[in-house]
Structure 1
Amino acid sequence: MKTNFSLLFYLKKQKNYISGNSPIYMRITVDGKRSEIATSRDCNPNRWSKRSSRLIGTKEDVKMLNSYLDQLQSSVYQAHQELVSFGIGITSEAIKYRYLGKMDGSHTLLEAVKDHNEKMQSLVGKGYVQGTLNRYKVLEKHLSAFMLSKYEVVDMDIKRVDQAFLNDFDYYLRSNKDCENNYVVKNVKNLGKILRIGLENGWVEKDHFLGYKGKTKNVDRYYLNQEELEQIAGKEFLSERLRQVRDVFVFCCFTGLAYVDVFKLKQEHIQKGNDGERWIFTNRQKTKTRSAIPLLPTAVKIMDRYATNKVCVNKGNLLPVPSNQKLNEYLKEIADLCGIDKKLTSHIARHTFATTVTLLNGVPIESVSKMLGHTNIRTTQHYAKILDIKVGADMALLKEKYH
C-alpha cells in the first residue's frame, strides 16, 4: 500500500523565546500524521535555513552539524525501507520506533536517563547535590555520542543494552574520548544505576551490569609539603582577591574541610570543645558524618581576620569562599606566583591536612579519620600509604637503636 512519507528538520522555539539557541527536531510525517524526535543538537535561529532545513555557512562547525543531520536523515530513510521490506504497515510512529531500535510501547535508554535526571533535579538540596546531577547529565551526553558513533542512532530501546553494549561504551570512553580508568568506570557504574531502575520499573528483564568487570584504581594523592605550605601561607599578594583565596585554601589545609563544607561553614559551627578551645562541629555534605575538628592557631588567625568582613557578615558565612571553579582558577595563579609546580585545588588542601599537618606530625590515624569525617578508616589509610617520609623517619629511629 502506497504511503506519503516525508522528513523535516526544524527548530523548536520556546513560547517565551527571546534569544539564544533553539533545539533541532526531526518530524516524520506519514499520510498527514506526525511523530517528532529530538536530535540532541541546537543552533541559533539566525543561522538556520527553513528552506533547506540546514545551517547556513561554510565554517567547520556548520559542516559538522549539517553532516550530522544528513546522517540522521539517512538512518530514518533506512528505517522506512526496512519496514517496507518486512511488509510492516508504514506509520510515522512505526518509522520512529524502528529508527530508535525499539518496539511500540517500550522505553529508550536516554528516556530512562532523562527520567532519572528530572527526578534527581527535584531532590537537589534534599539529599542530593548539584554535582551529582551534573555527572548524570554528562553521562547522557556521552551515551548520545556513543550510540550515534557505534549504532548510528540517537537513542535505542533500553532492552538492547546488554553486556556487549557496556563493554563497548567502556572502550569508547577510553579510546575515542581518551578518559582515565576511574572516570570510565564511574560513568559505566552510573549507567548501571539507570539499568537497575529500569529493571525495577519492568523496562528491562536482566541486570547486565552484574557482568561488568571494570574496577577503579587507587591514584596518588598529591599534597603540599611543609615548605610549600609555609611558602603559600607567608606569600604577600597585592590582590585582595588572591589574598582571600589563599586564606580559604590555607584554612582548609589546617582543618581538612572539603570545598562544599567550608563554603557552607557558619559562625554557629564554631563552638568550645572539651578542652575549652574553639572547635569546628559540622556534618560532611558528602557522607553526612559528623566532623569535630580542633582549630589550630593558623586557622584561628584566618577565621578572626574575617570576623568583621562585610561580605561574610551579610551572608552569614565564616569565610569569603568563591565558587569552586573560581577558587581553583585563582589557586592556579597562586601556584604560579609561589613557584609551586603542583596543580592546586580545594581537594589538595584536604590531602595536605591529612598528610603534612597531621599524620607526619604523629597524629594517630584514627583521630585523622574522625576529623576528616571518613566513614571507614581504610579511606584514611590511603593517605598513610604514600607517606614515604614518615616511613623514613620511623626507620631512622630504629637505625639509631641498632647503630
Structure 2
Amino acid sequence: MARAANSPISYVLRDPAGKTPTPIIGLVRFNNERLKIATGFKVKPSHWNADKGRVKNVVEAVDKDEINGFLERTEKAVGGIITDLKANLIPLSKETVKERIDAYLNPSVEVEKPKTLLDFVGWYIDTCPTRLVRGSKARTGRFISPDTIRRYKTTLNGLEAFAKTYPRPLLLDNIDAAFYKAFTAWLTAKDYATNNVSKYIENVKGFMSAAVDEGFTTNMAYRKFANLREDAENIYLTENELSRIYELDLSKNARLEKVRDLFIFAAWTSLRFSDFSTLQPEHIKADENGNQYLDLRQRKTGGRVQIPIVHEAITELLNKYNNCLPAGISNQRTNDYLKEICQLAEINDRILKHVTKGGKAVVKTSDGWGKMSSGVEKWTLVTTHTGRRSFATNMFKRGMPTVLIMKLTGHKKESEFLKYIKIDAAETLDLMRQYLGPRSITKIA
C-alpha cells in the first residue's frame, strides 16, 4: 500500500477479503508508534483502491466523493496536528495525538448560552438533579434537594407571569435596579406577604450568581437587591397543651394517632419534619452507662445533633413503635391532620397574627386577612414546625442555657435561634419576675 512520504496517516480496510461493506481504518504513524482511528465510513472491498487508500471511481460506489473528500481532509488535518505538536515542543505520544485527533473528528457542539433570565432559570432547574449545593459548607457535596427544586419552579412561574407585564425583555444583562423595583412592586400588588416577596428575590439573586459563575453574564447588579424580611409571628405550644394533645384517645383513628405521635416526638426532640419522618432505629444510640440518645445528621443542614432520650413521652413512643416510628406522610397532609388533632384537644385560644401583605399591615382573621380582627383560634396555626419551636421555647422557659438548646436544635447562629423563642408578653413578665424577685442570702456568721 502506497503512502505519501510526508503523510503520517494511511487508510486500510478492516476486512480486505470481505464480501460486504467493511470499516475504513486510519493508521497514524509517528516516532515508531502506530495509532488506529475509526473513520466512521464503510466500503465494499471490491470498491477499494488499496494502493491509493481511496474509494475507486466506479459507478457502483455512489458515495465515493463524500468518503474520499473526508479521507483527504482528515489526512491534511492529522498532518497539521503532528506538525503543531512538534512546533510547540509537545511530546508526541499516543495520548497527546489521539486527544487532538478525537477533538478534530468529534468536535464539541457549541451550546448557545441562555441570554434571558427565564431561559437560564429553566436550564438551571433542568440540571439541578445533578447539581451540587452552592454556598453551604454543611451541605457541600450534596445534590440540590427536590424541595429546593420545587421552590425554584415556583419562582420561575412568578417570573414568567411578571415578564408578560414588564416592558423590557428579561435579558441577563437587564436584571438591574429597575427590574428589582418593578418585580417587588408586582409581587406586592399580588398581595404577597413581605417574607414571601423576599424568598422570590433571594432565588433571583441565587440564579444571577449562578449565571455569573457559569460565564453567561457579567452583570453584578443583583448584589444590591435588598431582602426585606419581617419577624414572623409563629406560635408555640405550652407543655400543658402538648400534654392535652398526647393524652387524646385516638386509638380508633390510626390516621390521626400516628401523626399525633410524630408531632409529640418532634416537640420533645426539636426534630424537623424531614428528620422525624425518616428516623431509623440506627439513629438510637446508648452511652457506656446505658443512657439512650438520638444521633443523626439533619437533612436540611447536614449538621450533626445528639439529643438525650429523657422525656417519658419519647421513651413511651419508642417502645410503642419498637424504636421505628411510623413512616411520615406528606408535610402538607400532616399539617392538615395536626390542625384536626389540635382542634380535638381544644387548643382554641384566640391568637392575633400580624403580617405585612401587599405593603399593608394586616391581621389574620377566620375569613382571611383584614385590618381589624379578634384573632383566630390557635389550632388553625399549628404546623409540623410548631413542634420544633415548642421545644426551643419550652426549654428556654425552663431555664436551659441558650447554648445547650442550640446544641439540641442544631442552630449555629444565636440570632437565628432566638427567632424560635415565641413567648408572649405575659410569659415574658412572669420570667422577669422570677429573676427580679427576692432570693435567699446565706448569712456569714
TM-score for both structures, normalised by structure 1: 0.66
**Higher Rg of the two aligned structures:** 2
Deviating runs (4+, > 6 A) in structure 1? none
Aligned residue for 2:284? Answer: 270
Give, in angstroms, the shift of residue 387 of structure 1. 5.9
CA drift at 1:371:
0.5
Are residue 328 (structure 1) and residue 335 (structure 2) matched? Answer: yes
More helix by share: 1
The residue that corresponds to 1:132 in the other structure is 148
> How far apart in 1 are the matches of 2:412 and 2:238?
26
Q: Post-superposition shift, 1:290?
A: 0.9
1:398 to 419, 433, 436: 436
**Matched residue, 1:283:** 297
Size of the aligned set, in residue pairs, is: 287
Q: How far apart, in 1, do the equivalents of 2:124 and 2:272 lie?
A: 27
Residue among 224, 234, 238 paired with 1:221: 234
Residue of structure 1 in register with 2:225 after alignment: 212
Q: Are the structure 2 counterparts of residues 385 and 245 from structure 1 closer, same or farther at C-alpha, using a change threshold of 3 Å? A: closer
Alignment counterpart, residue 375 of structure 1, candidates 396, 407, 412: 412
Q: Residue 393 of structure 2 corresponds to which residue in structure 1? A: 355
- Residue of structure 1 aligned with 2:185, choices 171, 183, 187: 171
2-structure distance, mates of 1:299, 1:349: 13
Distance 1:378 1:397 in 2: 23
What is the CA deviation profile of residues 53-79 of structure 1, one whole-angstrom value per residue up to 9, with x for unaligned ones? xxxxxxxxxxxxxxxxxxxxxxxxxxx
Is residue 2:164 matched to residue 1:148?
yes
1:220/1:386 contact within 8 Å kept: no
Point out where structure 1 has 5 or more consecutive residues left out of the alignment: 1-103, 309-316
Q: Secondary structure at the match of 1:149?
A: coil
Q: Higher mean Cα deviation, 141-150 or 205-214?
A: 205-214
Q: Does 1:297 align with 2:350?
A: no
Matching residue within 220, 243, 247 for 1:234: 247
Between the aligned partners of 1:105 and 1:231, the Cα distance in structure 2 is: 59
Shift of the alpha carbon at 1:330? 0.8
- Whether the aligned pair in 1 keeps the contact of 2:235 and 2:382 (CA below 8 Å) is no
RMSD in angstroms over aligned alpha carbons? 2.4
Partner of 2:403: 366
Amino acid at match of 2:430: G
Contact 2:271 2:409 (C-alpha < 8 Å) held by counterparts: yes
Q: Which moved more, 1:266-275 or 1:234-243?
A: 266-275
Work out the CA distance in 2 between the residues paired with 1:106 and 1:258.
37
Residues 105 and 331 of structure 1: CA distance in aligned 2, closer, same or farther (over 3 Å): closer
CA distance in 2, matches of 1:324, 1:234: 23
Change in Cα spacing, 1:105 to 1:324, as seen in structure 2 (3 Å) is closer
Q: Could you tell me whether the CA contact under 8 Å between 2:296 and 2:304 is conserved in 1? A: yes
Distance 1:183 1:276, change over 3 A: same
1: CA distance between counterparts of 2:131 and 2:265?
A: 31
Using the TM superposition, give the Cα deviation of residue 182 of structure 1 relative to its aligned residue in structure 2, in angstroms.
Answer: 1.3
User: What is the distance in 2 between the residues matched to 1:133 and 1:105?
Assistant: 21
TM normalised by structure 2 equals 0.60
Question: What is the alpha-carbon distance in structure 2 between the residues aligned to residue 201 and residue 166 of structure 1?
Answer: 22
